[in-house]
Structure 1
Amino acid sequence: MSDVETVAVELLAQLVGIDSVNPALMPGAAGETRIVEHLEARLTAAGFATTVVPAAGHEGRPSLVAVPPGPDDWPTVVLNGHVDTVGVAGMPEPFTPRIDGDRLVGRGAADMKGGVAAIVAAAEHLVAAGAPVRPVLALVADEEDASLGSEAVIAALPGIGVRPDACLIAEPTDGVLCRSLRGFALVRVTFAGRAAHSSQAELGSNAVTHLGRLLHAVDLRADSVRADSGELLVTLASGGSSAFVVPDRAECLVELRTAPDRSSADALALVRGLLEPEWQAEAELLTHREGWRLDDHGPAADLARRLGAELGAGSSFEAPYWMEAPLWQEICPTLVCGPSGGGMHAVDEWVDLRQVRALATALTTVLGDWRPDAD
C-alpha cells in the first residue's frame, strides 16, 4: 500500500469518527463545525491557506476552502466533497469506524467521507511532491439538504483568488465516471374544501377526495414521464382535521425527476395540468435543480479519460439522483467520480477501501502533469 493510500484510509477513519449529521435533516444535530475544524487544522499544517466559509443566515454551518501554495498560472483543479451526513437512527455505533476486510463501516463512510479522504490525501501528496498543479479543496456543508455550502463556496471563490480550470466531485459512483445525473423538482399542492358535519356531507366539499383524484392522476401520468427517463410520484400527503367533519383542507408534495436535458422548472406546469378547476387547488414550486451531463470535450472530459484509464474503469454511471455537479458546472467544467460501498442513508453504511485507495492514487498520477488545454 502506498503512502497516499495509507493516509487516505487513516483520514477516513478519523472523519467517520466525527459526528457531522446535518441539522437541517435532524434538528439539534452536530452539523459541520467540528469536522471543518479538524480539516482546517490539518490542511493549515500541510501548507494550505484555509478559509472557513459560512452559509449566510445559517449559524454553525461552515464549509472549508483550502488553497495550496504555488503560482497562479499553474492549473487549478477544485476537489470537492461534502462533509455532512444524514441521521443515525437505528445505528448502534455510527461514529465508531470499523474495518472488516476491505470495508470500512460507519455513518458517512460511503456518502461521502471516503471520497473526501481520498481527495484530501491526494492534494496533500501533490503539494508535498511539488507537482505543478493547484489542487484546491472545497469541503462543503449541507449537500444532503439544500446545498448551502457549495453555493456559499462558489460565491466566495473569486474573493479567495481561485479561478478553477475544472472541478472533480468525489461523490460515490462505485469508482467509475458519472456521465449524467437527473434534475428534480418539488411541487406542493394545497386543496381548499368546505367543512360540514359528515352526516351531511353534501353540504361540504371534501378536500381529501380531491387529493385522492390528484394521486390517481399522478399515477396515470407517471408512465409517460418514466418513458422519458424521468419519474413522477407523490411522496407526502395529508388532509382533514377531525373525525365526523368533511375535510376542508388537504395537501401533498409531488416530486418530479427529469432527464438531464429536460428543465426541472417545467414541473409546475406539469402538475397544474393535472388539476381540475373544481378541486380548488393551488400548486407551488418549492425547489428545483437542473440535471447535468459530462462534457464531451474540454478539461473535464480530458480529466475523465485520464482518470478512467488509471482506475481501469471501462463502464460509466448514469446517476438517477441529483448531485451538485450542475452548480459547479456553472463556473467550470466538472466531473464526478468517487468510491462507493453500500448502505448509504441506511443503518449498515460502508465504503470499499479498495476504491478509496485507488482514487487517491489515481488523482496523484493524473493531476501531477495535467494541463487544462489538453483534449
Structure 2
Amino acid sequence: MRNVEAGAVALLGDLVRIDSVNPGLVPGAAGETAIVGHLRARLQASGFVTTVVPAPGRPGRPSLVAVPPGPAAGPALVLNGHLDTVGVAGMPEPFAPRLDGDRLFGRGAADMKGGVAAIVAAAEHLVATNAPVRPVLALVADEEDASLGSEAVIDALPGLGVRPDACLIAEPTDLALTRSLRGFAVVRVRFTGLAAHSSQAGLGVNAVTHLGRLLHAVDERSAAVRAGGGDLMVTVARGGESPFVVPDHAECLVELRTPAGRDSAGALSEVRSLLRPEWYATAELVAHRDGWRLDDTGPAAGLSRRLGDELGTGPTFDAPYWMEAPLWQRVAPTLVCGPSGGGLHAVDEWVDLRQVRALAAALVTVLAAWTPDAD
C-alpha cells in the first residue's frame, strides 16, 4: 500500500507543475492540453486504453477517458476528477509545488489535483493486481466554468463501451462523504430608462434608481430564502455612462442558491416576483444547475458506507456550492469524497498529503472486494 500512497503524492507534484488554468475564466490561459497529454502517456504505460474527448466547438479543451485493458468484465466504477484550475493572480510561483510538513502548496493542489492523483494511483494499482472491479478514469476539462468536459465525456461513454455501475468524484471534502450539494441559478435583469439632462431630471426615467430598488428588494427577500436553505443576492450591478445624464440603462446579475430537491430554473420566477411594472425591467435566466443528494440505497450508498468505514468518516458534508455530481447521477449512482486542505481559489492553496494518501489506500482496499449488487 505504501507504493500506492507514494505514487499518489509523486503524481500530485507532477500535476501541480503543469499549468492548466481554465481559459474560460482567464482569457488566453493554458487550458488542459498539457495535463491531458501527461496523464495519457502515463496511463497508456500502465496498460489503460485512453481516449481524448474534445469539448465540442472548443479547441484546446480536451478531457481524458482511460479504460482498463481487456474485455468489459466486472463492475465498472467511474473515478472522476477535473483537471482545470482557477487563475493564479497574486501567486509568486503557482506551479512550483512547495512542501511544508504534510502540506503541499500550489495552484490546484486541493482543487482538485490531490483527488486526481489519488484516483489515478488507485486505479493503476487495481489494474496491475487484476482486481475484479473496472476502474474507468474520467479526467475532465472545464469544471471550474461551464462543465464542458464532463458533459462531453458523459456523451462519449456509450461509444466507448462504458456502462458504469457507480461514479466517485474526488472533489475536496476533507474525506467526508458528501450528503448533498446546493444548486444555483443566475438571472440577468435589465432596466430601460429615458435619458435626459440631469438638470432636468423630471424629463427622464432613471434606470439606476430602479436598479437600486431591486437591490433593496433582493436584500429584503434574502432572509426568507436563507431560512429555506438557499441564498439570494446581487453579485454584479452596473448602469449609466456619464455624469450630467439621467441613465437610460442599467443591469444586474441576481444569484440564487437552491437546496437539493428544488428546481433551480424557478429562480426566474423568484426574481420576476420582485420586479414592478414601473421599473421597465426584463429578466432572463442566464445559467442554472440543480442540486443533488446522495442516494439512500443502491450502489453509491453502499460504496459510501464502505469507503466511510475505511476512512473513518461518514455522509456528513452538505456542500453549500455546486459540483458535477448531478451530471454524473444521470449516468450512474454517484458519490463525492476527496482530500482537502486550504486556500481553495486563493493565493495560498494547499492540500493535506495525509488525506491524499488515505484516499488512494482506501480506494484500493474497498474496491478490491466491491460488488454493487451486495450493496
**Normalising to structure 1: TM-score of the pair?**
0.99
Kept in 2, the 8 Å contact 1:31–1:61? The answer is yes
Aligned to 1:301: 301
2:157 is paired with a residue whose SS is helix
CA distance in 2, matches of 1:149, 1:173: 21
Cα deviation code 1:247-266 (max 9, x no counterpart): 00000000000000111000
CA distance in 1, matches of 2:243, 2:365: 67
Aligned to 1:324: 324
Q: Amino acid of the residue matched to residue 36 of structure 2?
A: V
CA distance in 1, matches of 2:173, 2:36: 24
Kept in 1, the 8 Å contact 2:305–2:314? The answer is no
Where do 5+ consecutive residues of structure 2 fail to align? none
**Residue 199 (structure 1) aligned with residue 193 (structure 2):** no
1:273-288 paired onto structure 2 within 5 Å: 273-288=273-288
Aligned to 2:189: 189
Q: Amino acid of the residue matched to residue 309 of structure 1?
A: D
Identity of aligned residues (%): 77
1:303 is paired with a residue whose SS is helix
1:273 Cα deviation after fit: 0.4
Between the two proteins, the alignment pairs up a number of residues equal to: 375
CA distance in 1, matches of 2:98, 2:10: 12
Kept in 2, the 8 Å contact 1:183–1:292? The answer is yes
Aligned to 1:262: 262
CA distance in 2, matches of 1:367, 1:70: 18
Where do 5+ consecutive residues of structure 1 fail to align? none
Aligned to 2:106: 106
Kept in 2, the 8 Å contact 1:69–1:134? The answer is no
1:373 is paired with a residue whose SS is helix
**Deviating 4+ runs (over 3 angstroms):** none
Kept in 1, the 8 Å contact 2:181–2:291? The answer is yes
1:315 Cα deviation after fit: 6.0
Aligned to 2:12: 12
1:18-37 paired onto structure 2 within 5 Å: 18-37=18-37
Kept in 1, the 8 Å contact 2:172–2:338? The answer is yes
CA distance in 2, matches of 1:167, 1:244: 59
Kept in 2, the 8 Å contact 1:168–1:337? The answer is yes
Kept in 2, the 8 Å contact 1:70–1:134? The answer is no
Aligned to 1:367: 367
Kept in 2, the 8 Å contact 1:76–1:134? The answer is yes
Kept in 1, the 8 Å contact 2:179–2:315? The answer is no
2:112 is paired with a residue whose SS is helix
CA distance in 2, matches of 1:315, 1:299: 15
Cα deviation code 1:303-338 (max 9, x no counterpart): 000000000114620000000000000110000000
2:374 is paired with a residue whose SS is coil
Aligned to 2:152: 152
**Residue 218 (structure 1) aligned with residue 218 (structure 2):** yes
CA distance in 1, matches of 2:314, 2:76: 27
Kept in 1, the 8 Å contact 2:199–2:244? The answer is yes
1:55-70 paired onto structure 2 within 5 Å: 55-70=55-70
Q: Amino acid of the residue matched to residue 59 of structure 1?
A: P
1:74 Cα deviation after fit: 0.7
Kept in 2, the 8 Å contact 1:70–1:133? The answer is no
CA distance in 1, matches of 2:164, 2:70: 14
Kept in 1, the 8 Å contact 2:133–2:367? The answer is yes
1:73 Cα deviation after fit: 3.1
Aligned to 1:351: 351
CA distance in 2, matches of 1:111, 1:25: 15
CA distance in 2, matches of 1:315, 1:335: 10
CA distance in 2, matches of 1:287, 1:253: 11
CA distance in 2, matches of 1:175, 1:105: 18
Aligned to 2:271: 271
CA distance in 2, matches of 1:157, 1:86: 27
CA distance in 2, matches of 1:316, 1:18: 33
CA distance in 2, matches of 1:99, 1:287: 39
Q: Alignment RMSD, CA only?
A: 0.7
Cα deviation code 1:59-112 (max 9, x no counterpart): 100000000124323100000000000000000000000111000000000000
Q: Amino acid of the residue matched to residue 288 of structure 2?
A: H
Kept in 1, the 8 Å contact 2:205–2:247? The answer is yes
Aligned to 1:177: 177
Kept in 2, the 8 Å contact 1:75–1:132? The answer is yes
CA distance in 2, matches of 1:360, 1:71: 25
Cα deviation code 1:162-221 (max 9, x no counterpart): 000000000000111000000000000000000000000000000000000000000010
Kept in 1, the 8 Å contact 2:167–2:328? The answer is yes
2:184 is paired with a residue whose SS is strand
2:127 is paired with a residue whose SS is helix
Aligned to 1:84: 84
Q: Amino acid of the residue matched to residue 208 of structure 2?
A: V
Q: Amino acid of the residue matched to residue 83 of structure 2?
A: V
2:317 is paired with a residue whose SS is strand
Aligned to 1:238: 238
1:93-172 paired onto structure 2 within 5 Å: 93-172=93-172
Aligned to 1:44: 44
Q: Amino acid of the residue matched to residue 374 of structure 2?
A: A
CA distance in 1, matches of 2:84, 2:315: 29
Cα deviation code 1:33-64 (max 9, x no counterpart): 00000000000110000000000000100000
CA distance in 1, matches of 2:225, 2:288: 17
